[in-house]
Amino acid sequence: MKTRARIIGTGSYVPEKILTNADLEKFVDTSDEWIRTRTGICQRHIAAEDEQTSDLASKAAQAALDMAGVTAEEIDLLIVGTITGDCPWPATACLVQEKIGAKNAWAYDISAACSGFVYSLDAATRQIEAGAIQKALVIGAEILTRFIDWTDRNTCVLFGDAAGAVVLEAQETESGVLSTHLHSDGSYYELLYQPGFGSVHPPSEEGLKNRVPYLSMQGNEVFKVAVRSLYNVAVECLEANNMSVADLDLFIPHQANIRILDAAAKRLGLSEEQTYINVERLGNTSAATIPVALDEANRAGRIKEGDLLMFDAFGGGFTWGAALVRW
């Protein structure tokens, strides 16, 4: 039997404070009706001033460790998918390592925007399949609301803060991560990105005035490529495993907005029962959406042993990818 990466624990953390569409109406030129009909989002959670991305990630990680019955010292590899880390460097994963006491792990971040969790899952899975490690913590964590321009109504209504995590263990089994499929296309980078501060726009007063440290997006263009890519990579993933959409028990897509999800699910021929959606409560939390949704579904008893799950993500870069998991 093959050595596979098996998910043996899930965890998530969502900050307490809720910002509803009605709250947004008070300081943004928008309406609850516009946001709901265009995005499906009703509210999002916002990190407290003294909460950092590594705090959200650590809480999600601890919950996953507790479910798995694994101590932090047993973790060999710790990866955080994030584009809103505590600081540009060092890696937020190193700060999480310190906070949870995973002193035997090596730790790094993966920057793949909303695909960050699937990219991180792929990296850890390959280490496990190669026999290099026994246990890994894979986390998606973001505080995107600190990097959006609250004067830009095109983007500020979409995002929220959260973290989700899984513990992976090497097992000789038919279950676990069956395959991962990743893609990137840098020619689209300016459609969805944070222009500064980096080497193109190093820190400056001018840059601040021009809003370069904030997320910039051309929503219409992103929409079209997102639907196509989510569909294509889901089909690629099923075909690689000689399976069809009917075999899927739970499809967990990146929760960008309801229209992208509905369009991708419809094209794939997925039923409502097969698709997990929570974007109305949490908004788009980038790399955190899939592991948070997975943890919610798991704790709600929606996943049984032997179920077939697919994660399907798309984000800035552009990056996209899918993973097929036998529970």
Active site (catalytic) residues: 114, 254, 284
Any contact of residue 34 with ligand ACO (CB under 6 A)?
Answer: yes
Task: Spell 238-273 as b/e; 16+ CB within 10 A means b.
Answer: beeeeeebeebbbbbbbbbbbebbbbbbeebebeee
Q: Of the two residues 35 and 163, which places its CB atom closer to ligand ACO in the complex?
A: 35
Contacts (Cβ under 8 Å, ≥6 apart) of 255: 261, 277, 278, 279, 282, 283, 284, 285, 289, 290, 293
Residue 193 host element (H or E): strand 192-193
* Site track for ligand ACO across 246-285, x = CB under 6 A: --------x-xx-xx-----------------------x-
Q: How far apart are CA 305 and CA 327, in angstroms?
A: 5
Any contact of residue 317 with ligand ACO (CB under 6 A)?
Answer: no
Task: Tell me the window of 32-40, 49-57, 101-109, 139-147 that interacts with ligand ACO (CB under 6 A).
Answer: 32-40
Task: Spell 101-139 as b/e; 16+ CB within 10 A means b.
Answer: ebeebebbbbbbbbbbbbbbbbbbbebbbeeebbbbbbb
Q: How far apart are CA 79 and CA 96, in angstroms?
A: 9
Residues paired with 128 in a beta bridge: none
Site for ligand ACO in 81-140 (CB under 6 A): 114
| Largest distance between two CA atoms of the chain | 59
Q: Of the two residues 112 and 260, which places its CB atom closer to ligand ACO in the complex?
A: 260
Q: Of the two residues 153 and 302, which places its CB atom closer to ligand ACO in the complex?
A: 153
Any contact of residue 322 with ligand ACO (CB under 6 A)?
Answer: no
Cβ-closest position to ligand ACO: 219
Any contact of residue 154 with ligand ACO (CB under 6 A)?
Answer: yes
Task: Tell me the window of 137-145, 181-189, 212-220, 270-278 that interacts with ligand ACO (CB under 6 A).
Answer: 212-220
Where do contacts with ligand ACO occur on this chain (CB under 6 A)?
Answer: 30, 34-35, 38-39, 114, 153-154, 157-158, 192, 217, 219-220, 222-223, 226, 254, 256-257, 259-260, 284, 314-315
